[in-house]
Structure 1
Amino acid sequence: MTTPRYLPVPSRAGWLEHEEFARRVGLHPVLVRRFVALGLVAVRRDGDGRLWFRPTEVAAVARLLRLRAALPLNYAALALVVDLLDRVAELETALRLAASPSPDVLRSDQAHPFR
């Protein structure tokens, strides 16, 4: 007789179950499922098909709701807006890092400490 093999189950410690997540973000669970279907929030499914959310996704949903209130866009369009805003933030960070000199590199206009 062979023992059935199971896939490893990720730890659920710190993760929020679908109903609890919906309660924390103040949305109906059906709308939360719509957000999942649109790819607006990251989710993990367990072996039984239940949805589990990271607590950081609460802030992501709050951001979506603020954008939805400020812009006359549907939820599908918000995915594009969020992607663009995240990309702009990444580019600004890269630009800031490129513009600031490394502490161990001297600029040509700085005096060399050993001259």
Structure 2
Amino acid sequence: MTGFALARPNRLRLDAFARQLGLHPQLVRRYVALGLLDAHRDPGGELWFRPAELARAGRVQRLHAGLPLNYAAIGLVLDLLERIEELQTTLRKGGRGWTSTG
């Protein structure tokens, strides 16, 4: 009998995460060490990733390939892009923007 997953996994092991991105696991470890990706360690020391980190890792790869930036600068760009997305979401929901006072 063949089984099918009913839901996406809520976390991925390092090897599965790297395989989905087409990256070497050591490069993924480097991204974690540089603070570009968030990962959790289990009691055995193995890295686990939330599926949402796949998109962030893809963004890191695109920024690194497309712009002459070092990894520290890529981290800053990622933080700024996330902040812009938060502000746009707030504005779409009718919230006050960053230029508002009080």
Which band: TM-score by shorter chain? 0.7 to 0.9
Provide the rounded CA distance (Å) in 2 between the counterparts of 1:98 and 1:54.
29
Moved over 4 A (4+): none
Residue 86 of structure 1: CA displacement? 1.0
1:98 to 86, 92, 95: 95
Q: Partner of 1:64 in structure 2? A: 60
Q: TM-score, normalised by structure 1?
A: 0.68
User: How much is the aligned-residue C-alpha RMSD, in angstroms?
Assistant: 1.6
Change (3 A) 1:73 1:45: same
Structure with the greater alpha carbon radius of gyration: 1
Query: Could you tell me how far apart the structure 2 residues matched to 1:31 and 1:24 are?
Result: 13
Cα–Cα, structure 1 residues 14 and 89, in superposed 2: closer, same or farther, change >3 Å?
A: closer
Which aligned pairs between 1:73-92 and structure 2 lie closer than 5 A?
73-92=69-88
TM-score between the two structures when normalised by the length of structure 2 = 0.75
Partner AA of 2:71 in structure 1:
Y
Match of 1:54 among 46, 50, 55: 50
Unaligned segments of structure 1, at least 5 residues: 1-12, 100-115
Aligned equivalent of 2:25, options 24, 29, 52:
29
**Structure 2 Cα separation of the partners of residues 41 and 48 of structure 1:** 20
- Alpha-carbon separation, structure 1, partners of 2:47 and 2:95: 40
- Aligned pair count reads 87
Deviation at 1:52, TM superposition (A): 0.5
Structure 2 unaligned regions, length at least 5: 1-8, 97-102
Partner residue in 1 for 2:34: 38
2:16 is aligned to: 20
Q: What letter matches 1:95 in structure 2?
A: L
SS at match of 2:95: helix
